[in-house]
Amino acid sequence: MKNTSATPLGAGAKRSTPSGGLQAWLPRLVLAPSVAISLFFVYGFMLWTFVLSLTSSRMLPSYDFVGFGQYARLMANERWWVASTNLMIFGVLFVVVCLVIGALLAILLDQKIRQEGALRTIYLYPMALSFIVTGVVWKWLLNPQLGIQAMVQGWGFESFRFDWIVDPDMAIYTLVIAAVWQASGFVMALFLAGLRGIDDSIIKAAQLDGASLPRIYLRVVMPCLRPVVFSAVMILAHIAIKSFDLVVALTGGGPGYATDLPATFMYAHAFTRAQIGLGSASAMLMLGGVLAILIPYLYSELRSRKHG
């Protein structure tokens, strides 16, 4: 093995310790273009959005600075508060319900049952659909004159009502139903992988000690799954903040703007209402929301590495 590291140029492919100058620089050289591109297109554009949010831009970007005026307008905008409140309701319910359903499904599937592969596919299948498809399907299911309500009334239960999608106060919960339907299978898959990763001998030891099954799951298995829960929350929270296509397909933001979310608010104002400044301000606040989740996550990740 030792003689192969003699030629520095050929050594790259041969897993020797980095020694030559080129070898040390090669990865950086290879990565440099993509780093430069992402610096420009991701962080550069974030910066540009921030700059635009300080201007009075309407149809096209302009550089007439108005300080934080657009943010003040945003704070005074009733629809923005509806959108933000909706995001809180939707985000919290979506994450919690997905976690609970996903964990339950995973635990049930983990009981060494027959046809596990087939069941897993069925539960995971909604994840393969785009949110647009989910939205359209649930739009029909929830339509009081086509879907579930009409069907149950057709069975003879005339007084049955399930018209959340047309009720401004309840419509936001129909978003939760559709999103949970889509994403809980994915959470199940995460949990299942986590469960399979737990050393059998710990569970066996607990069983020998006479612990009941629910107790084992609660006290032994779940604590082992903390990283899985954390990743699931991260991913689900991101899906919630970015939700756009589901709203567009399921409710179109309606009735009225009762199911508006910050993402749809931003799109409507920046692109169709010639309010680029206001739209940018709302985009910056959304970025703030993402960072509020991301920073604690990165912090805890880095700290756990150190303690490692």
Which listed range, 226-234, 237-245, 251-259, 298-306, lies at the site for other proteins (CB under 8 A)?
251-259
At position 245, the amino acid (one-letter code) is D
Of the candidates 218, 188, 209, the one whose C-alpha atom is nearest the C-alpha of residue 98 is: 188
Q: Which of 16, 56, 153, 231 binds other proteins (CB under 8 A)?
A: 56
Helix residue spans in 164-209 (DSSP H): 171-197, 200-208
Which listed range, 10-18, 29-37, 53-61, 214-222, lies at the site for other proteins (CB under 8 A)?
53-61
Q: Does residue 34 contact residue 256 with C-beta atoms inside 8 Å? A: no
By CB under 8 A, residue 10 contacts other proteins:
no
By CB under 8 A, residue 256 contacts other proteins:
yes
Q: Which of 123, 269, 282, 283 binds other proteins (CB under 8 A)?
A: 269
Q: At what angle do helices 171-197 and 116-128 cross, to 10 degrees?
A: 140
Of the candidates 198, 221, 191, the one whose C-alpha atom is nearest the C-alpha of residue 123 is: 191
Q: Which of 27, 44, 61, 227 binds other proteins (CB under 8 A)?
A: 61
Q: How far is the CB of 94 from other proteins (least distance, A)?
A: 20
By CB under 8 A, residue 268 contacts other proteins:
yes
CA atoms within 13 A on the CB side of 18: 7
Radius of gyration of the chain from Cα atoms?
25
How many Cβ atoms are within 10 Å of 66's Cβ, its own excluded? 14
Q: Any residues with CB less than 8 A from the CB of 68 and at least 6 apart, and which?
A: 54
Positions 156 through 215 that interact with other proteins (CB under 8 A)? 163, 165-166, 168, 171
- How many amino acids of this chain bind other proteins (CB under 8 A)? 40
Q: Which of 275, 280, 281, 285 binds other proteins (CB under 8 A)?
A: 275
Q: How far is the CB of 10 from other proteins (least distance, A)?
A: 43
| Residue 184, both tokens | 């809980």
User: Which one, 50 or 162, has the nearer CB to other proteins?
Assistant: 162
CA atoms within 13 A on the CB side of 149: 16
Positions 64 through 123 that interact with other proteins (CB under 8 A)? 66, 69-70, 73, 76-79
Which listed range, 41-49, 87-95, 234-242, 267-275, lies at the site for other proteins (CB under 8 A)?
267-275
For residue 65, the 8-state DSSP code is B
- Cα dihedral 172, 174, 177, 181 sign: negative
By CB under 8 A, residue 63 contacts other proteins:
no
By CB under 8 A, residue 245 contacts other proteins:
no
| Helix, strand or coil, per DSSP, at residue 55 | strand
User: Which one, 221 or 278, has the nearer CB to other proteins?
Assistant: 278
Residues of this chain that interact with other proteins (CB under 8 A) are 56, 58-61, 66, 69-70, 73, 76-79, 139, 143-146, 163, 165-166, 168, 171, 250-258, 268-269, 271-275, 277
